[in-house]
Structure 1
């Protein structure tokens, strides 16, 4: 099962990386648009024939019975149809999809995250679902639909949200109480976090930390900054608001509110430090406490969950339809079947920490009511965060761009550059990488 965020813990995971649009178009697959992508699929066309459905790292003891039953259910409802389910391993999925697109063998229905879907859609490889699913906005979680709409492609949607993840905040109440902080009054915003980080630092004599990570894209967005121009063609996160946020981090780092190694290669990561009880705050999915019970049971009773600070991030997997499928009516019908509310709810029962991308799940009491335990509270907070979560990472954002941003942030936080200069440099270099 592909991981949609760093804190989720499915066994089979793979880093999600964007396909190079240059590589796709260079191999003769379409241009920046395609008549196939914009065609209308007849809603009343008879369903018959055969299609292929591709998932990503989901063929295993846990999920195989689910998909076997899913396919059998659909075929029983629609005699004369055959669904060939195939699964690709976690590693190398980007390369596999690239090969399928360039060879014209992309499966009819395919599991894609937003960044890969963007690259395939950009060369005309995916069906426009806004045009072909009239109830798209009503049937699916709004933020999930938005994740598959791209400004540089006219904001049409190219994926049906399938299973979604987000972050909540998790706190070590023993550390909080040791330094005079109240677990019943946890930070709700970044500014609240800074204020309580100062208290923890001062009362512990600099031995305890509440904050333990440098800022990233999510912090920039939460400063009120749009990462890209409205047409999605240039980066634009070098704003006064982003600079002010970075200045706050710089001041906190200089004051000793963050571990000194957060900007070095020896930095273990926020989650690792939280698990070692060296810092009092981390973020994770709604199943974090349940997972920690298995890996670090002594920590579990100390964890108090709360909603994410400011706006929560969205991590999403979806189902797309190949624009060049030879059986579009069947492909579209099956994609909608896979992602209808009943099938989504049944799927996420096998995937703790994830939530369905169907809008109807908003009325499901299983997600909106806690059983009174910390894990129950965490699940409800994750559900609540999901309703307003945002997919912070642009589909064109790459590891190389992230490296540049991290380098510039480190220069600012160590006083070698101003926040404005660091962000200007990061934007300029990211634009150069985007144009390559």
Structure 2
């Protein structure tokens, strides 16, 4: 089930500098001093109306703690959010605090549009998980450009009944890519290709999970066309040819992998804690046979999704903006948010709460505790430079490889060439 922002708030939506006119720089270095007072504007991404009460409560608490401050909250819809942020940046009219994923922070920070928190709030780093703080580092540029806000990762869900029907052990699902291929080929053969193991081609994060190095050391060139990357694509090609990967997955704008799994036409899918509740209400016959296991990885480290808040250099009230950014993302507020949304804190203290460390016997708690545990050393495998245009190119080239129009090596060489072109 491909992770999307609309599904559970986390989605590494992509942005590109092309045509956005982010040519100038407003960058200012050093610590930010000044009194926390006055008005700021805080912009979020599709949190209304579901989380209105929570956000308004955080704002009220901040204003009470800092008399003389006013926080004006604006919430933008999901559709067109990235385009709007980049347009506002080009016009020099960004809000004082903005909700951005790392890949949107990349073009803004590269253009000098975001405050470097390593300098402006040097004591903040210790409050957050190291891997979450590192998600807002920009390759080739010193500093960190966002307070991590909320995280997500997820287990792998599989259909125990379909495993059993194919003669696979329902209590021993695959945990490595080699095991995944073996199980997928068996599933396709035993069901006469009526049930596929997988509903989607690999995304860029899957290359990271496989152990592929995505970029060179200074982040200026993509390298996922290595021998190891080719190995992954060739493995997917074998699964596709055998019927272990649904044909619809090759469609450029395909988003139906979750629906395939819920319809019990595929046997395994990556997901999140959010999905378990959806299965329970929308697919009870599937829910009765749900198996839950750890992510499939050759690295031993799961994939992490992260969202955060950044302070633009154009803010006229940086002291208050920085104070509010830290307040929104402090341990107490993150923990409270995690209990009303299916997300996880990026704060060290928030992740120590019993809510994330103790099971109560329910499947929901089992998923939550397991996911929280794996977040400790999880990795944001998607490079901050990787835009939606790059993802589209990768998907098209992977489809060509699956269909035999290109070799795996040629498909990845072409994808890397296009990604490097877009990066340049």
Same fold per superposition (TM over 0.5) = yes
**Structure 1 6/87 Cα, relative in aligned 2: closer, same or farther at 3 Å?**
closer
Matched-pair contact (CA < 8 Å) for 2:146–2:310: yes
Q: Deviations over 1:239-274 (max 9, x none)?
A: 011111112222222233333443347966321111
Distance 1:371 1:104, change over 3 A: same
Name the counterpart of 1:348.
338
In structure 2, relative to structure 1, the CA distance for the partners of 1:13 and 1:162 (3 Å cut) is closer
Pair 1:195 & 2:182 matched:
yes
1:229 aligns with: 216
- Give 1:14-413 correspondences, 5 Å limit: 16-20=13-17, 23-26=20-23, 29-30=24-25, 34-36=26-28, 38-42=29-33, 45-60=34-49, 62-154=50-142, 156-264=143-251, 269-310=256-297, 311-352=301-342, 354-413=343-402
Q: Distance in 2 between matches of 1:308 and 1:14?
A: 18
In 2, the alpha carbon distance for the partners of 1:230 and 1:142 equals: 20
**SS state at 1:389 partner:** coil
Question: 2:4 aligns to what?
Answer: 6
Query: Gaps spanning 5+ residues in structure 2: where?
Result: none
Q: How many Å apart are 1:129 and its aligned residue? A: 0.7
Does the residue aligned with 1:359 lie in a helix, a strand or coil?
coil
Q: Distance in 2 between matches of 1:183 and 1:340?
A: 41
Structure 1 residue runs without a partner (length 5+): none
Gap change, CA 1:116 and 1:191, over 3 Å in 2? same
How far off its partner does 1:8 sit?
6.0
Q: CA deviation at 1:65?
A: 1.9
Contact 1:306–1:381 (CA under 8 A) maintained in structure 2: no
Q: In structure 2, how many angstroms separate the alpha carbons of the residues matched to 1:313 and 1:8?
A: 18
Question: CA–CA distance in 1 between the matches of 2:154 and 2:191?
Answer: 28
Answer whether contact 2:400 2:411 (CA < 8 A) is retained: yes
Q: Is the 8 A contact 2:27 2:115 kept in 1?
A: no
Does the CA contact (< 8 Å) of 2:4 and 2:11 recur in 1?
no
CA–CA separation in structure 2 for the residues paired with 1:407 and 1:90: 25
**Contact in 1 for aligned 2:158/2:267 (Cα 8 Å):** yes
1:409–1:124: structure 2 CA closer, same or farther, 3 Å change rule? same
**Residue pair 1:179, 1:199 contacting (<8 A) in 2 also:** yes
Contact kept? 1:7, 1:288, Cα under 8 Å: no
State the distance in 2 between where 1:7 and 1:173 align.
28
Note if 1:422 corresponds to 2:411. Answer: yes
Residues 166 and 315, structure 1, Cα contact 8 Å, conserved in 2: yes
Q: Once the 2 structures are TM-superposed, how far is the Cα of residue 331 of structure 1 from its aligned partner?
A: 1.3
- Where 1:287 maps in the other structure, the secondary structure is helix
Moved more, 411-420 or 119-128: 411-420
How far, CA to CA, are the matches of 1:242 and 1:173 in structure 2?
30
Q: Which moved more, 1:89-98 or 1:336-345?
A: 89-98
CA deviation map 1:90-136 (0-9, x unaligned): 22222322232223221111111112211111111111012233344
CA shift, 1:198, in A, is 2.6
Tell me the TM-score normalised to structure 1 length. Answer: 0.89
Greater Cα shift, 323-332 or 396-405: 396-405
After TM superposition, the structure 1 stretch with the greater mean CA deviation from structure 2, 191-200 or 334-343, is: 191-200
Q: In 2 relative to 1, CA 363–379 (structure 1 residues): closer, same or farther, beyond 3 Å?
A: same
Gap change, CA 1:15 and 1:247, over 3 Å in 2? closer
Distance 1:383 1:202, change over 3 A: same
Aligned length: 420
Greater shift after overlay, 217-226 or 355-364? Answer: 217-226
